[in-house]
Structure formats: structure tokens, C-alpha cells
Structure 1
Amino acid sequence: MSISICGVVILYNPNIDKVIQNISSYLDEIELLYVIDNSIKDNSIFFVYNKKIKYIFNYENLGISKALNIACKLAVERKFKWILTMDQDSSFKQGDLNKMIDLSKNVSEDVFIISPEYLPYQLKEIPEFEYAKWAITSGQLLNLKFFKKLGLFNEDYFIDQVDFEYSLRGRRAGFKIIKSNLIILNHELGYPQQIKIPFLKKRITTSNHNALRKYYFIRNFLYLKQEYKKNFPQLFKEESYMLFKIILKTIFLEKDKKNKINMMLKGYFDFKRGVKGKYVEK
């Protein structure tokens, strides 16, 4: 039994050779791929000759949420059942997407997202799949019947926490997320850097995102917490601790810390002022 599945990958000033390599890891397993390009430069020349790819150039950075909405609305119009959402820096090992697609044929009717794992498990014995608290955008299969029920991705968030907001919106409505533990997505989380801390005798890993991403992360996390803390109190207790660790790593371990700290403060104060959407330099 086959299912009707398309995909979307969102571009932003990419390394085109790497993007094409990543796309080739999953293009054969889907019927159509929407390439939504938020770049400064039109990259259509690299995609127009492939009949399985629909290239859309936005002329500016409209954000991840807007790009996802463009693709999902087109997919609904074409009556696709599922959409695979991918980042430009992500890829699958050969055959892994097919395993996720096979899983989608057997899940219960209340499952709205199927996601891969992003970090290999260290345990010897793990379940093949499990219910998850949320899923990141890259590598997930979204059942489009739930897109029609839940509505658009929140464009107020622009680029950060977009996926988490949608995950929690779906869970609050009673729908479920399944994570396939045996499928590992090749995915770059920021610009990871390992820093040796002599007095701790260990290395600490920091994502090392740029200052603008720090702004969006702080601002949008606070909006997320404001909206969903009552529904998921334990989750936000854990994530608030993670936020605290990220702030400490930024202050003590990362480069360009003055600029990053300044942008995190702007994120906090913009949340307090109710500022949403794309960041505008004042």
C-alpha cells in the first residue's frame, strides 16, 4: 500500500552543492518536493529541470513559518496525505525515510507527526518508537489532515520555536507525536563547538548560534511558555532549566558574547512589549 506524500525544504543562502546532495537522500521516496527559497539570490537554475521539484522564490526572508505554510497549503490543494518537512542541512541515510513512511501506514488515527531521532542513543536496548513531547521541523512527517484542523504554523514566531509551538498545539488538541528511535537524521544543530573546561576535567558542547538566533530563541521561548505552560507544566520546568544552561554557556563559553547577550536582552524586552514576527533593527 502506498501513501500520498510530498516534501518541503526551506532554503536560506545555502551551499547549493550540499543542498542538492541532501535532497538526493530523500527525493526518490516522495512524489513531489517544494523548494521554498528565502534567499537573497534566485537559485531556480539548479532546480527547474527536475520534474519532481517545484521551486518557489520568495525574494526575501519570509521566515520558516511562512515557508512551511506556503508548502502545506499547496500540498493540501494537491490532496497529499503527508508532507515531509526538511531543513537545507539535513539528510537521511539510504532507506531510512522509507522506514518512516512504512511506520506512517500503521500508526493510530490520532498521530499527527512522525519524527526521526536526532542524536544516536547510547543505550543497547531501545524501543523501536515512542511517543514524544515535541518534534523539530527537519525530518518530520506531518499528516496534512491535522494541518487543516490545527491551522497555519504561527508566523509571529518567524524562525525559532515554530516547530515546538506546532507540536504543543497538536498535543493540546489531543493528538500524538511518534518518534522513530532507530532512524537517525543527519542534522546540524547550530555551529556546535566543544570547549574544554580544565577545572571540571570535561568538555562542554555549545550550539554557538549567532546573535540573531539567540534573540528569536529567547523571545519565542517566552511566548511559547506563556501560551502552553498551564498545559505542560513539567515540560516547561525542564525547558526553563535548559534555557538557563544555554544562557550560561553563551555568557561564559561562546564567542561574540557581548553582541549575543545584547540580542538576548532585546528578545526579553521585545517579549515584554509584545513584539512579534521578523526582527527589525531599531
Structure 2
Amino acid sequence: MNKNISKKVGAGIVLYNPELSLLKKDIQAIINQVDQICLFDNKSDNIEEIERTFKSYRKITIIKSSKNLGIAFGLNKLLNWASENKYNWLLTMDQDSICSTNLIEEYSKYWDDPQIGLICPFVITNGKYSLEEYNNLKIQKTSWVKDPVDCITSACLTNVKIAKQLGGYTNKLFIDYVDTDINCKVINNGYKILRVNSAYLVQQMGQGKPLKLFSYLHKYTKLNVFRRLKVAAIYTDQRLYYSSRNSRYVRKTYKDHGAKTSVIFMLMFYSYFTLFYPADRSRIKMWKSIIKGFKDYKSL
């Protein structure tokens, strides 16, 4: 890795009760690609174990919070850390996802464009793509992200100056659609988001439910729509609340918020979950959370 490239980049991860084995893999994948790594901990129950695990890593700084202030607050702390340390770019990672070892090298080929606010990779979601399938894909090296939902926080390289200029992340969102919100700020202010398909992220879905119907349809049709549907992520009722509330905030706040935060899309999104969630989940409680989130948008 070219040291002149890595010197321009700091990396940050917001932590909340991370699985340490996955976090260590996450860090090992990026530690030689960046200058320093900052871990912002949102009062994890296992913070002492986190500190013991990484105390010998000279490239890692840990910032601890006295309470869980949410992903957006943590990302703003990381953005401020990057700015204070004079980094041009901040690589943000989730605590349980693994990026390719060529990530920053590939990103650096394109970051001289002053209009680029964010750079993201090709996302390989567990259960939907395999590394073998990714390697066999015939896709162009780069593409512009048009819909703000299509760029996630993990493995996203953020132009520190532009993000600070736009006000950073929106703390009151707490969790869910925090990345969509910053993406909307970038796009709605005339900046661009670039996807570099020659670098990848293996995204952990957490708990997910494989759906045989869509797996079968994808196998025989090869249509990407069935690939995306063949594993349903399982969200708590609280996450459904934040998803509903924050997607409405994005929809009401930005003129160009993309098709995937529209009322029709979100209704289809929640209907899909209603149909395919595990049978022991209460659909009534799920929809109560969704409706409450929709109404509570007004309190933001």
C-alpha cells in the first residue's frame, strides 16, 4: 500500500456491543490501508474487553461515550476526529462488515475529482452474493450513484471538507437512514457519489431469513430482483419504528430523495416483511411500530 495514499485517510467505526471476532477481522482488513483508526464506542457492555483487545494497536484510538447516543452522533464524532487530524478522507466501517484489501488503492484512482463527496464499493451481502459470483460479474469499473439509498455507511469514503461544509450527519435520526440523509445532502448540493466496482464490501446481514421461493426464482431466471428478495433481513420492532420515522424525514426534507424512500416503495418494503418475517413475530406489533414512526416524524 502506497504510504502517501494511506496518509490521506483516517478510518472510523461506531461501536455498540460488537462481536469481537468480527470486529477484529474488520480492522485487520483496513489497518494497513489507512493512517489511523478511531473507534467511537456508544457505551458497549463489553467495552473493557474491547479496550483489552486493541490496547496494543498503535494505530487505534478509542473514544468512549457515557451513554448510547446513536450512530449519527458517533459518525459526527469520527468526522470531527478526521478533520482535527487533517485527513482529507474518512473511511467509515460497520463493526461487522469486511472490505477488500484493495479498497483505498482503488478509491484513490478517482478521488481527485473535487465534485466527489462520497465513494462507495460494490456490496456483497451475505446470502445474496458470493465472492465467486462477484468475481465473475461483468460490470463497468465505476458508476454514479443516483438513488441516495444505494450508498451505505460501511466502506464509504467521505470527503471530510465537503461533509463538514454540509453540516455532517443528522444527530436526531439516531439510527436508520443516517447514511441516506448524508447522501441526500451530497446529491442535493451538487456533489457526486461514485461507486467503485473493483473494490467490495462483504456486508453481514445479521439475523436473516432465507426465502426458498425467491431463491428458486433467482436460480432459474437469474433476475437480480429475486436475488435481492431471497434473504429477508430481520428487524426488531424498534428498528421498524426508526425506519418508518426516518425515511419519512428524508422524504419530507429533500427534494431529490430517490425512489427507494417514496411512500409506495416503503409500503411495499413493509408489506414484504409482513409476509416473510418468522411466524412467531406479531404483525400487529410490527405495524403499530411502523405507524407510530410515521406519525412521530413530526416530532423530529
Q: TM-score, normalised by structure 2?
A: 0.82
209, 234, 254: which one aligns with 1:208? 234
Residue 190 of structure 1 deviates from its aligned partner by 4.7
186, 195, 210: which one aligns with 2:211? 195
The structure with the largest helix share of the pair is 2
CA-atom RMSD in angstroms: 2.3
Tell me which residue corresponds to 1:280: none
Tell me which residue corresponds to 1:279: none
Q: Distance in 2 between matches of 1:66 and 1:86?
A: 15
The amino acid that maps onto 1:262 is K
Contact 2:118/2:157 (<8 A) preserved: yes
Q: Distance in 2 between matches of 1:87 and 1:239?
A: 26
Tell me which residue corresponds to 2:282: 257
Tell me which residue corresponds to 1:184: 200
Q: 1:112 aligns to what SS in structure 2? A: strand
Contact 2:103/2:199 (<8 A) preserved: yes
Matched, 1:101 2:108: yes
Contact 2:106/2:198 (<8 A) preserved: no
Aligned length: 268
122, 127, 131: which one aligns with 1:117? 122
Tell me which residue corresponds to 2:143: 130
Residue 13 of structure 1 deviates from its aligned partner by 0.7
Say if 1:96 and 1:5 are closer, same or farther in 2 by CA, change over 3 A: closer
Contact 2:259/2:265 (<8 A) preserved: no
Structure 2 counterparts to residues 44-83 of structure 1, below 5 A: 44-83=51-90
Q: Distance in 1 between matches of 2:46 and 2:64?
A: 9
Matched, 1:275 2:299: yes
Say if 1:100 and 1:201 are closer, same or farther in 2 by CA, change over 3 A: closer
Contact 1:25/1:92 (<8 A) preserved: yes
Q: Which runs of 5+ in 2 are unaligned?
A: 219-228
Contact 2:13/2:39 (<8 A) preserved: yes
Q: Which runs of 5+ in 1 are unaligned?
A: 277-282
Q: Distance in 2 between matches of 1:263 and 1:36?
A: 29
Tell me which residue corresponds to 1:231: 256
Structure 2 counterparts to residues 139-150 of structure 1, below 5 A: 139-150=155-166
Q: Distance in 2 between matches of 1:32 and 1:201?
A: 45
Contact 2:97/2:203 (<8 A) preserved: yes
Residue 66 of structure 1 deviates from its aligned partner by 0.3
Say if 1:154 and 1:237 are closer, same or farther in 2 by CA, change over 3 A: closer
Range that drifts further, 204-213 or 63-72: 204-213
Q: 1:189 aligns to what SS in structure 2? A: coil
Q: Distance in 2 between matches of 1:21 and 1:157?
A: 29
Matched, 1:32 2:36: yes
Say if 1:148 and 1:269 are closer, same or farther in 2 by CA, change over 3 A: closer
Aligned-pair identity in percent equals 25
Q: Distance in 2 between matches of 1:125 and 1:218?
A: 35
Say if 1:190 and 1:15 are closer, same or farther in 2 by CA, change over 3 A: closer
Q: TM-score, normalised by structure 1?
A: 0.87
Residue 239 of structure 1 deviates from its aligned partner by 4.4
Say if 1:204 and 1:4 are closer, same or farther in 2 by CA, change over 3 A: closer
Q: Distance in 1 between matches of 2:46 and 2:261?
A: 40
225, 233, 244: which one aligns with 1:218? 244
Matched, 1:18 2:45: no
Contact 1:37/1:56 (<8 A) preserved: yes
